């Protein structure tokens, strides 16, 4: 009677997630959209260069 030996196949391995977590601080910083913040800061800088009064 032949021995039934099985090797570790991809079917028996646990599922590995390929999607990374977006909960951490690094991920939050990487995935944030800063367009509106940059535009507001650039507007303030241009006002300071021109010499506009603080509102």
Q: Give residue 4's pLDDT.
A: 61
Query: DSSP character for 8?
Result: -
Contact 46, 39 (CB under 8 A): no
**Global model pTM greater than 0.75:** no
**What tokens does 21 get?**
């977590």
In the chain, what are the domain boundaries? 22-55
pLDDT at 9 over 60: no
The model's pLDDT over 13-50, given as tens digits with 9 standing for 90+, comes to 676 667 766 678 888 777 788 899 999 999 999 999 99
The model's pLDDT over 10-22, given as tens digits with 9 standing for 90+, comes to 567 676 667 766 6
């Amino acid at each position: 009677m032949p021995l039934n030996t099985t090797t570790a196949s991809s079917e028996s391995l646990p599922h590995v997630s390929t999607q990374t977590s977006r909960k951490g601080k690094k991920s939050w910083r990487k995935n944030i959209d800063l367009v509106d913040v940059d535009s507001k800061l650039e507007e303030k800088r241009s006002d300071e260069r021109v010499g506009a009064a603080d509102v």
